[in-house]
Chain A
């Protein structure tokens, strides 16, 4: 091991982010969360524990949740990413977002982007998850306001009656 390593040349990383092709030139050591937040100015992805425990920095890579705080951006090369900014489109919210709003399933909101992306992924893998499956899947998304009951209610209702959240609630 050496402490005087020369600065490595930057490397090119191509990926699809929220439906758009993106190319960044980065140092290999750069973390995905920093590229998203600082370079691409997408501040919806939150940094909290920084050790892949809390879930605030969750983004989807090919539809599956990853901790962007402990993922190298080079590993996004040739993959498809979704951040919270990419979930809503054309002025329409995602059904998960609508269910969270309808049930007041957020307090300070800091865990909410990661929580919503985790639920999005859960529902893509389990069409009708049991309460136990929901709890197990979200075990790694921590809400320090401890608003878990409302979050559970939002997801349960979305699973029970998805049509209710397909269109904007007035």
Chain B
């Protein structure tokens, strides 16, 4: 089915896109890869009379080194672009691998990381890993720019801290400490993850594990109890010993998540997946 009629505006720059949004307000939506928005417009779940095409805005493009070994990823970067980017592959191989597994090749070529973050469909991959990596998001609005942690950005299903008149400009991943490893593991029988778990393991210290579960509730969720238990582990354990100690904590924490049945599986099944995927992600970090 075709979407309802709309006017199409091709914004040449950030300022023009924001000005178009200011003049059309609620009737306008920003539009990039379209892999989420067009599906919703075709199904007539959403309707806008103006689409502001942001694909040609240079300020939203590119992947470049950030401060002190970090990474700045333009919001228009596609999953395909991220998975093949030499800088991402070197600094964040886990994110390159995740991007290579998104949807299918056509979705990876059209879909952007900005779209995934801003549309905030809970059954997505990138938000979970970006939370575990403590990425910051740069947003531009009529009254200037601001950055906020990705951990504060995702508020629930299809809901983020982005104001309707703001555009996501870039994702800033901080430098990862020497010896830290990241991994993301997901499972789903359709093109989206039923559940995904991201782990970042640093060599030592009370905050050695960052562990986030995605797609299980409305927004990526931090597995705080498991992180705490990992921080209290003695040093020098191998992967098997680590998991022996963390397994009961993860299982208990997953069981307490406020999951609900959906198309991707029953709540109990998805809680079970959290523990299975946490094991795989942590083991991948320690292998």
Contact = CB atoms under 8 A, between A and B. Distances in A.
A115 to B, nearest CB: 12
Given A51-B39, A71-B34, A66 B8 contact: no
Given A70-B34, A70-B39, A64 B109 contact: yes
Interface string A78-105: 0000000000000000000000000000
Contacts of B2: 29-31, 34
Interface extent on A, as a size class? 35 or more
Interface string A107-140: 0000000000010010000000000000011011
Given A64-B109, A70-B35, A55 B6 contact: no
B106 A67 contact: yes
Given A3-B47, A29-B3, A64-B109, A139 B104 contact: yes
Contacts of B55: 75
Contacts of B41: 29
B27 interface: yes
B175 interface: no
Contacts of A136: 100
Contact of B107 (A31, A52, A141): A52
A50 B44 CA distance: 14
Contacts of A51: 39, 42
Contact of B5 (A8, A52, A65, A140): A8
A147 to B, nearest CB: 19
B106 A55 contact: yes
6 contacts: A8-B5, A28-B6, A53-B104, A55-B106, A65-B106, A70-B34
